[in-house]
Amino acid sequence: MELVRRSWIDDVYERRLLPAGRAAQRADGDDVEASAVVAACESIGDAVRTEIARLEPAIDRAGLSASLSPAGDGGDQIHAMVAEVADFDEASRLASMLGAESYRPWQRWSGGALESFRRSTDTITVARTDQRTDVLNITWPSASKLDRIPSVVRPNEADWSFVSLPRPLWWLYFLIRPLRLIGERTGLVQPAPGHLGPFLATPSSLIDPLLDFAAVTADDVVVDLGCGDGRLVVEAARRRGCRARGVETDAELVESARAAASTAGLAGLVAIEHGDAAGVSLDDVTVVFVFLPADVAAELLPTIVGRLSPGARVIAHEQHRLPVSIDPEHSAVLVSDDAVTVAHRWIA
C-alpha cells in the first residue's frame, strides 16, 4: 500500500511511525492509512519478539550469556535486535554460534584487520534472510581509550580492505587511514567503494508495492543493482512478465539468485550477473531498482539516472534519508503486512 500523506515520510525517518499512526487513529478511527501503519509496525514488533524468544534457548544451550532486546528507537519499524555481551571474545563466540541459526556475519576480517576491528569498534553485526532480513547487532562495553581517537585516523572497513596486515602490525592501520584519505583527495589512490554491509533483502511482502510504485509492465526491462538472492527480479518476471536482470558482487548470492530463477522456470526471462553495479550496461533498461545503504545509493544514483534513456525509472528505497544531489520525481511510504519503507522514483 502506498501512503498518500507525505508526513509519514518524516515519521519513518525520525523513527516515530508507530506513535504517529496511533495518534492518527485516535483522531480518526476510520483512517485507513493510520490503520495500515499501526498494523505493519505491530506485526514487525511481534516478529522481532518471536525471533528473540526463538534464539534465547539456543544461546543458553550453547553456554553463552547475552541479553537480547528489540532495537532502540524505531525498533517497531525494522526487523532488528540487539544482543549485549561482556566483551569482544563473547561477541565472537555468539556470532559463530548463530551460524547454526542461519545468521551470516557482516564483518569477516582476519589478521591485523581483525585485531584493529576488535580495538576500534564495539559491535559485530549478523543477519539472517528468509522472507525478510533479521539483523542482530552484538555489542559489548568498550573500555578502550581508542574510542576517543578522532575519526580521521580511526580505521574502518575501507582501510581494512585497502591492505592486509599481519596481526602484530594492526596499529599501522592508524597510519594507513590518513595516508589513504590523502591519496584519494590527490587522485593517487582510487576512492574506496561504499561498504555494502550485510545482505538486507527486500521483504517479500513489499515486492508488489514496489513493482506498482515503479509501474512495471511486461514491456519493461528491469535491473536490480545489488540483487542479493534475486527475489525482486524473479518476482518481477513472474508477476509482470517482464525481462529482468540482477547484478550482485557476492558470488554465493549470485548462485542463490540463479538457482531461484531456474527453480521458478524463469531462466529465459531472468539473468543474474556477477559484477559491480557501476559497470553494468543500462542500454535497454527501463526500470532500475537500487536497495543499497543510503551513502552507496546516493553515490550511484546521479550516474544511473544520467545513463538511462528518456522515460526510464529509477527506484530506491530505504528507511534512512538519501543524501542525493538530484530530487526524486515522487516519494512515498510503502507499507505491507509486516514491512515499511520509503520509496523514491526518478525519471530519466
Sorted by sequence, the CB contacts under 8 Å of residue 218 that are 6+ apart come out as 240, 241, 242
pLDDT at 302 over 90: no
Report yes or no: 70 and 136 within 8 Å, Cβ to Cβ: no
Domain count, the chain: 3
In this structure, the answer to whether residues 341 and 321 fall within a common structural domain is yes
Helix (H, G, I), strand (E, B) or coil at 248: strand
Please check whether residue 199 lies inside any domain of the structure: no
Please check whether residue 185 lies inside any domain of the structure: yes
- How far, in Å, CA of 125 to CA of 67, rounded? 15
Considering just the CA atoms, what is the radius of gyration of the chain in Å? 21
* Grid cell digits, residue 277: 553495479
Q: Output the pTM of the full model.
A: 0.85
Please check whether residue 94 lies inside any domain of the structure: no
- φ, ψ dihedrals at 328, nearest 5°: -70, 155
In this structure, the answer to whether residues 120 and 230 fall within a common structural domain is no
Please check whether residue 285 lies inside any domain of the structure: yes
Listed residue (314, 308, 302) closest to 344, CA to CA: 314
pLDDT value, residue 56: 96
pLDDT value, residue 103: 93
231-240 and 251-263 helices, crossing angle to 10° = 20
In this structure, the answer to whether residues 188 and 292 fall within a common structural domain is no
Q: What is the pLDDT of residues 322-332, one digit of tens each?
A: 887 788 999 99
- How far, in Å, CA of 162 to CA of 177, rounded? 9
* Grid cell digits, residue 170: 594492526
In this structure, the answer to whether residues 188 and 208 fall within a common structural domain is no
Please check whether residue 197 lies inside any domain of the structure: no
- How far, in Å, CA of 239 to CA of 233, rounded? 10
pLDDT > 90 fraction of the chain, expressed in percent and rounded: 62
Listed residue (265, 262, 260, 221) closest to 240, CA to CA: 221
In this structure, the answer to whether residues 231 and 280 fall within a common structural domain is yes
In this structure, the answer to whether residues 151 and 266 fall within a common structural domain is no
In this structure, the answer to whether residues 305 and 255 fall within a common structural domain is yes
Please check whether residue 110 lies inside any domain of the structure: yes
Report yes or no: 313 and 305 within 8 Å, Cβ to Cβ: no
Average pLDDT, the chain: 89
Please check whether residue 100 lies inside any domain of the structure: no
Q: What is the pLDDT of residues 34-79, one digit of tens each?
A: 999 999 999 999 999 999 999 999 999 999 999 999 987 667 898 9
- How far, in Å, CA of 287 to CA of 298, rounded? 17
For 268, counting Cβ atoms within 10 Å of its Cβ (0-12 exposed, 13-18 middle, 19+ buried), the class is: exposed
Please check whether residue 34 lies inside any domain of the structure: yes
In this structure, the answer to whether residues 209 and 289 fall within a common structural domain is yes
In this structure, the answer to whether residues 109 and 235 fall within a common structural domain is no
Residue 310, domain CATH = 3.40.50.150
Find the domain containing 171 and state its range: 105-135+142-192
Q: What is the pLDDT of residues 185-230, one digit of tens each?
A: 887 777 665 445 556 788 899 999 999 999 999 999 999 998 989 9
